């Protein structure tokens, strides 16, 4: 929040004095504070006990129900609902309630209780208004929708992220949201999980007013006493909700959903469309059907795995801690990775200097940064400020003041060591030296350093702005304080740290290499590249290995494959000669505009084969995906990564590994370890020792 703006908590404390709340000893509620002001308005503050954010748990909803009973009896002049948390209104349901859910009837009973509470809020015979700051998501938005009016503070954000968990809204949101605003807009938000800010919410008709914190008291009273100019409901909403129109729109929605995710992998969007289409004009039936549908979705493997992914993210966030000391970053190498790392750090509020031997790469990096900031920052002044924090530095003088230096030059040991020789004497005491190497062991890189204890690996993934993982690579001589500071930095730039021990390929590239090399072998077998990619996509990968190789860069793929084969696993297939020739010709993939595919505007051009695509075989899918699980088990056995859950998180957040499967190790558990080992042995007998099951399977559970 802008430091010049009055803080929410300060205003709430002032308001408590104005409203004359009951003393804490007399307040009978654990998660709420109910007070009444001088004009007879009841103010209900959500304040979830022992938590930094409000979430809707079973206990909280039960207490909320008791409060509504009190309001029904006392009949104040009106009700204003607010959050006492500085972070926002309500973050949604307490996801812990649904972890491991297996009985849809039990879930439906639980959801029905929540419906009853929200329905009673909506039915109150007094005017009600929700005053919203910060996030208002999922169940929190459903509470707000049950109020007569909504007032947003300028920093508010609204959305239904349930689709990210394999679900759809379950506390009446599917009905109330499509009644309040254009059902096209409402359904798009629910189907994508997209959020909107306060101004957009006002234009949609989701909120009735947008105000500043200092004007909340008067705005709320105006709303209660009928003086607030409310949003007008568009007559088109009724037309778009009419039966025949719903049928037409639902068909288009299914087509769009199919482009993003197939029904067998992600059933929730299709269930939501079915709900809206089927229950045309029957509000009560749709509310009831929503409960059943939500409960059915909750126990699907997709939802349970995506809930698991949610907790994996939280687990990895916790690895960062909250003691970041890095304020100034110096990046060496303004290529695709270095430039984008620099831009991301600047976007996150750090001061960054970007160095390179030539001016052209720096200019290109600044241009890409401007494009990135324009997409993700909503205000021109924010774009300007982010660009101001990213400074070209041809002379490399930024090294002297940097708390962290990130080297992102090409994957050549001698080149990296030459860079270190030039910058190490200039580094200030306590500064961290990090390499973005994707494959070179730190034991090799450190040999020429005077202070090897301050070298760590910070391996980002491409594209930096989208992939959340950063491998934080240690070696046996690293200073533990430096390592902790590097992990804290990763958290501070809104990324997820994965602690790994230095070894060839670390975790992610080591696991991805057999995936992509097997695709090269399939190409040698004259299997069409689109069929190979389709096999991976059928499994649930966001893109196939051929497209991924183009995305990463064929030169990098070639270097990593050669290194891993030399240092780790001679059974890996050698890179084909034609791949070396493509790299020699400069056909490197996306960054050069041509690799296996031709790339235009950042997208691969895929020309359909005459006669339609050949369906991929199950064996083809196993050849691609099972080696990833095999390598992950090997990394666990070798101690490269210590925690199986974090391995799954790393592969999901670093490669996009099919989230609905919960990660390569979770997939192996779900399929059955014995079945996976048997399948690997069958592949080894047919295709060679590269498929031999790792010894770690015998201890894996």
Q: Which helix (H) or strand (E) holds 498?
A: strand 496-501
Task: Kindly tell me if the per-residue pLDDT of 89 is higher than 80.
Answer: yes
Confidence of residue 233 (pLDDT cuts 50, 70, 90): confident
- Does a cis peptide bond (omega within 30 degrees of 0) precede residue 463? yes
Q: Which helix (H) or strand (E) holds 403?
A: none
Residue of higher predicted confidence among 452 and 608 = 452
| Token pair 């391996």 in the structure block, residue | 459
- Cα separation of 586 and 475, whole Å? 34
- Cα separation of 364 and 602, whole Å? 15
**Backbone CA torsion sign across 73, 79, 81, 82:** negative
pLDDT in tens, 624-676: 999 999 999 999 999 999 999 999 999 999 999 999 999 999 999 999 999 99
Residue of higher predicted confidence among 104 and 3 = 104
Give the lowest-confidence range in 141-155, 320-334, 567-581: 567-581
Task: Kindly tell me if the per-residue pLDDT of 18 is higher than 50.
Answer: no
Confidence of residue 567 (pLDDT cuts 50, 70, 90): confident
Instruction: Please compute the mean of the pLDDT values over residues 587-597 and round it to a whole number.
Output: 89
- The predicted structure's pLDDT at residue 138: 96
How far CA 432 is from CA of 59, 152, 410, 424, in Å, comes to 47, 43, 20, 10
- Cα separation of 562 and 559, whole Å? 5
pLDDT in tens, 667-692: 999 999 999 999 999 999 999 999 99
- The predicted structure's pLDDT at residue 612: 63
- The predicted structure's pLDDT at residue 252: 94
The two tokens of residue 12 are: 């709430």
Give which of 671, 695, 680 is closest to 619, Cα–Cα.
680
- Cα separation of 89 and 11, whole Å? 15
- The predicted structure's pLDDT at residue 9: 43
Residues forming the active site: 459
Instruction: Please compute the mean of the pLDDT values over residues 103-123 and round it to a whole number.
Output: 96
Residue of higher predicted confidence among 260 and 407 = 407
- The predicted structure's pLDDT at residue 13: 43
Task: Give burial (CB, 10 Å; 0-12/13-18/19+) of 450.
Answer: exposed
Give the lowest-confidence range in 61-65, 239-243, 405-409: 239-243
Give the lowest-confidence range in 175-184, 269-278, 379-388, 599-608: 599-608
Share of the chain above pLDDT 70, in %: 95
Task: Kindly tell me if the per-residue pLDDT of 420 is higher than 70.
Answer: yes
Q: Which helix (H) or strand (E) holds 332?
A: strand 328-332
Share of the chain above pLDDT 90, in %: 75
Residue of higher predicted confidence among 493 and 601 = 493
- The predicted structure's pLDDT at residue 591: 86
Helix, strand and coil percent figures for the chain, each rounded to 5:
55, 15, 30
Give the distance, in angstroms, between the CA of residue 678 and the centroid of all CA atoms in the same chain: 34
Confidence of residue 558 (pLDDT cuts 50, 70, 90): confident
Confidence of residue 6 (pLDDT cuts 50, 70, 90): very low
Strand-pair partners of 469: 496
- The predicted structure's pLDDT at residue 5: 37
Q: Is 280 in a helix, a strand, or coil?
A: coil
Task: Kindly tell me if the per-residue pLDDT of 2 is higher than 60.
Answer: no
Confidence of residue 602 (pLDDT cuts 50, 70, 90): confident
The beta-strand segments (E) located in 522-629 are 598-600, 603-605
* Residues 83, 84, 88: CA angle, nearest 5 degrees: 55
Asked if residues 334 and 136 have their Cβ atoms less than 8 Å apart, the reply is no
pTM here? 0.89
Confidence of residue 26 (pLDDT cuts 50, 70, 90): low
Report the chain's mean pLDDT, rounded to a whole number.
Answer: 91
Task: Kindly tell me if the per-residue pLDDT of 262 is higher than 60.
Answer: yes
Asked if residues 485 and 326 have their Cβ atoms less than 8 Å apart, the reply is yes
Task: Kindly tell me if the per-residue pLDDT of 611 is higher than 70.
Answer: no
pLDDT in tens, 110-119: 999 999 999 9
Task: Give burial (CB, 10 Å; 0-12/13-18/19+) of 615.
Answer: exposed
- Cα separation of 240 and 254, whole Å? 16
Asked if residues 408 and 338 have their Cβ atoms less than 8 Å apart, the reply is yes
Task: Kindly tell me if the per-residue pLDDT of 4 is higher than 80.
Answer: no
The two tokens of residue 313 are: 């993210």
pLDDT in tens, 170-195: 999 999 999 999 999 999 999 999 99
């Amino acid at each position: 929040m802008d430091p010049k703006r009055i803080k929410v908590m300060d205003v709430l404390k002032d308001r408590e004095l104005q409203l004359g709340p009951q003393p804490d000893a007399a307040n009978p509620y654990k998660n709420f504070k109910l007070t009444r002001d001088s004009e007879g308005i009841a103010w209900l503050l959500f304040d979830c006990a022992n938590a930094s954010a409000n979430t809707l748990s079973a206990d909280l909803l039960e207490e909320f129900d008791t409060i509504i009973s009190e309001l029904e009896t006392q009949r104040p002049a009106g009700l204003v609902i607010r959050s006492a948390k500085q972070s926002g209104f309500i973050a949604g349901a307490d996801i812990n309630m649904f972890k491991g859910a297996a009985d849809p009837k039990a879930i439906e009973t639980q959801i029905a209780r929540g419906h009853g509470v929200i329905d009673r809020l909506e039915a109150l015979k007094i005017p009600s208004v929700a005053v919203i700051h910060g996030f208002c998501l999922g169940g929190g938005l459903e509470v707000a929708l049950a109020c007569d009016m909504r007032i947003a503070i300028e920093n508010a954000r609204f959305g239904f992220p349930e689709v990210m968990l394999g679900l759809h809204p379950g506390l009446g949101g599917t009905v109330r949201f499509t009644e309040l605003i254009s059902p096209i807009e409402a359904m798009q938000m629910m189907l994508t999980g997209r959020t909107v800010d306060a101004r957009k919410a006002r234009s949609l008709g989701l909120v009735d007013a947008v105000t500043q914190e200092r004007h909340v008291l008067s705005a709320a009273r105006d709303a209660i006493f009928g003086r607030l100019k409310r949003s007008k409901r568009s007559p088109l909403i009724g037309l778009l909700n009419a039966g025949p129109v719903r049928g037409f729109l639902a068909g288009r929605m299914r087509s769009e959903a199919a482009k993003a995710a197939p029904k067998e992998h992600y059933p929730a969007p299709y269930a939501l469309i079915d709900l809206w289409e089927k229950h045309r004009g029957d509000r009560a039936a749709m509310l009831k059907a929503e409960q059943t549908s939500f409960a059915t979705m909750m126990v699907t493997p997709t939802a349970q795995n995506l809930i698991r992914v949610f907790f994996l993210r939280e687990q990895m966030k916790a690895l960062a801690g909250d003691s970041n000391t890095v304020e100034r970053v110096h990046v060496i190498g303004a290529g695709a990775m270095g430039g984008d790392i620099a831009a991301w750090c600047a976007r996150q509020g750090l001061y960054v200097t970007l160095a390179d031997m030539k001016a052209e790469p720096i200019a290109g990096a600044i241009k890409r940064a401007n494009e990135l900031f324009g997409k993700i920052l909503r205000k021109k002044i924010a774009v300007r400020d982010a660009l101001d924090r990213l400074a070209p530095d041809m002379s490399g003088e930024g090294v002297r003041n940097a708390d962290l230096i990130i080297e992102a030059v090409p994957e050549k040991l001698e080149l990296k060591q030459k860079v270190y020789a030039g910058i190490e004497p200039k580094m200030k005491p306590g500064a961290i030296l990090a390499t973005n190497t994707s494959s070179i062991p730190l034991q090799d890189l450190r040999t020429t350093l005077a202070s090897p204890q301050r070298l760590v690996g910070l391996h980002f993934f491409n594209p930096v702005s989208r992939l959340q993982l950063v491998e934080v690579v240690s070696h046996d001589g690293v200073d533990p304080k430096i390592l902790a500071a590097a992990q804290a930095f990763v958290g501070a730039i809104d990324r997820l740290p994965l602690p790994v021990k230095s070894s060839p390929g670390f975790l992610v590239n080591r696991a991805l290499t057999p995936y992509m090399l097997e695709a090269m072998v399939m190409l040698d077998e004259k299997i069409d590249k689109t069929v190979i990619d389709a096999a991976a996509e059928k499994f649930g990968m966001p893109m196939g290995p051929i497209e991924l190789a183009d995305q990463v860069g064929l030169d990098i793929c070639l270097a990593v494959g050669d290194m891993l084969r030399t240092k780790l696993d001679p059974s890996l297939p050698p890179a084909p000669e034609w791949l070396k020739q493509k790299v020699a010709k400069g056909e490197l993939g996306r960054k050069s505009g041509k690799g296996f595919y031709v790339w235009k505007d950042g997208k691969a051009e895929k020309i359909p084969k005459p006669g339609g695509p050949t369906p991929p075989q199950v064996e083809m899918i196993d050849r691609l995906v099972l080696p990833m699980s095999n390598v992950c088990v090997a990394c666990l056995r070798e101690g490269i990564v210590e925690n199986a859950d974090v391995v799954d998180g790393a592969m999901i957040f670093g490669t996009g590994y099919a989230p609905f499967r919960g990660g390569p190790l979770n997939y192996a558990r779900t399929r059955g370890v014995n079945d996976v080992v048997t399948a690997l042995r069958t592949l080894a007998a047919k295709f060679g020792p590269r498929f031999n099951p790792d010894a770690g399977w015998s201890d894996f559970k």
